[in-house]
Amino acid sequence: MTIIKRTGEWLQIIVPDEWDGMTVDNLFREVWEAPKKLTHQFRSENKVLLEGDRVKWISPLVSGSKLLLHLFEDEASQIRPTYHDLDILFEDDHVLIINKPPFMNTHPNDPEKESDSLINAAAFYLLSKGESANVRQIHRLDRDTSGAILFAKHALAGAILDRMLEKREIKRTYIAALHGRLNKRKGTINMPIGRDRHHATRRRVSPSGQMAVTHFEALNEGKQKGFTFVKAWLETGRTHQIRVHFSHLGHPLVGDVLYGGEPIINRQALHAAKLEFIHPFTKEIIICHAPLLDLPDIFQAIDLNSI
């Protein structure tokens, strides 16, 4: 674990043994893989200090020394803060994980006209704590899907987490209730997904679509006759991916009328139950389970902590 401590607007990092001999340039470009523009900003604005002095970006670091990063300056809000009661699953100076309720957009489709999305609520939450920072969304969920969503609280954390998501180093595990019984208990669905030209919001399996890979494993079937409960985790993050893949196999999600599910409940039975990743600065393993905020009758047989 890397030893870090916030000091005002600065983050103090005790240089770990694995960074010994690296330069700050190596750190930004190779370890954190920060964008060139952000790296240039840290360098040109003297936002990195070593033992309290301006750092030389090409000089080797020594383990045990104190590296300071200017991470926590005030930012003008780019999103309209709007109050909404939130279920916070994890928070520190760098990341925020929220259990999104169903029937709420992750972000506004039109920021000028809409302000009732999760990111608006997250902005209000941080502002109410005296944190003038632009919260950065790392991934999203469909409006009617509930569960864990990861946000970054400053630009460097956002850049690192974006890269981790691209490299599939952030694992998102969902639970879903499907119509019918699967032919096999576990497997991988590797089918490209593209837009449905006959429907504005639908997606479909299409040879010309983008690569989409979903792994799944059946859970206990509970008391609901004709349902199969699965946990699923993604290698890609295509729009409606889980919904499209299982519908294509003939097992649409319960409640997902857009893809052939029966309207037994008022939304698709899909919940982002678990989020896990290595913290970008402390290197701790972060695991969050998101409790269900609705659908107790559908998912009552599922032990979320065992997912």
CATH of the domain at 241: 3.30.2350.10
Could you read off the pLDDT of 205-245 as tens digits, one per residue?
A: 999 999 999 999 999 765 566 889 999 999 998 999 999 99
Domain membership flag for residue 255: yes
pLDDT for the residue 225: 67
- Rounded to an integer, the average pLDDT of 268-295 is 96
- For the question of residue 116 being annotated catalytic, the response is no
| pLDDT at residue 267 in the model | 96
Which range of residues forms the domain containing residue 60?
Answer: 4-70
pLDDT band at 247 (very low <50, low <70, confident <90, very high): very high
CATH number at 9 reads 3.10.290.10
Assigned domain for 138 exists = no
Percent of the residues in the chain that have a pLDDT greater than 70, as a whole number: 98
The distance from CA 265 to its chain's CA centroid, rounded to whole angstroms, is 26
Helix spans in 45-167 (H): 118-128, 155-166
In a domain, 99, yes or no: no
Q: Provide the number of structural domains found in the chain.
A: 2
Average pLDDT over residues 9-20: 97
Beta bridge partners of 277: 286
Burial class of residue 126, CB neighbours in 10 A (0-12, 13-18, 19+) = buried
Q: In the beta sheet, which residues pair with residue 176?
A: 230, 270
For residues 253 and 235, what is the distance between their CA atoms, to the nearest angstrom? 20
Select from 19, 41, 70 the last residue of a domain. Answer: 70
- The answer on pLDDT for 128 being more than 80 is yes
The residues near 259 (Cβ < 8 Å, ≥ 6 apart) are: 202, 240, 243, 244, 247, 252, 253, 268
Tell how strand 270-278 and strand 171-179 pair up.
antiparallel
The reply to whether 185 falls in a domain is: yes
Lowest mean pLDDT among 201-210, 238-247, 267-276, 294-303: 294-303
Strands of 74-226 (E only): list them: 88-91, 95-100, 136-137, 146-152, 171-179, 186-190, 193-195, 203-205, 213-218
In a domain, 108, yes or no: no
The last residue of a domain, from among 12, 43, 70: 70
Residue-averaged pLDDT of the chain: 94
Q: Would the pLDDT of 299 be above 90? A: no
pLDDT in tens, 87-120: 999 999 999 999 999 999 999 988 888 899 999 9
Catalytic-labelled residue, pool 142, 144, 162, 256: 142
Percent of the chain past pLDDT 90, that is, above it, reads 83
Q: Is residue 195 a part of any domain in this protein?
A: yes
Categorise residue 33: left if φ over 0, alpha if ψ from -120 to 50, beta otherwise. Answer: left
| DSSP-assigned letters across all residues of 22-55 | --HHHIIIIIS---HHHHHHHHHTT-EEETTEEP
Contacts for 90 with CB less than 8 Å, ≥ 6 apart: 96, 97, 286, 288
Confidence of residue 8 (pLDDT cuts 50, 70, 90): very high
Coil/strand/helix, residue 285? strand
In a domain, 155, yes or no: no
Q: Is the pLDDT of residue 21 over 90?
A: yes
Tokens encoding 174: 């969902």
Asked if 236 contacts 209 with a C-beta cutoff of 8 angstroms, the reply is no
* 9 falls within a domain: yes
The greatest distance separating any two alpha carbons of the chain, rounded to the nearest whole angstrom, comes to: 67
Half-sphere exposure of 163 (CA within 13 A, CB side): 16
Q: In which element (H, E) is residue 13 found?
A: strand 10-14
Single pTM value for the model: 0.94
Residue 76 in this model has a pLDDT that exceeds 90:
no
Is residue 10's pLDDT more than 60?
yes
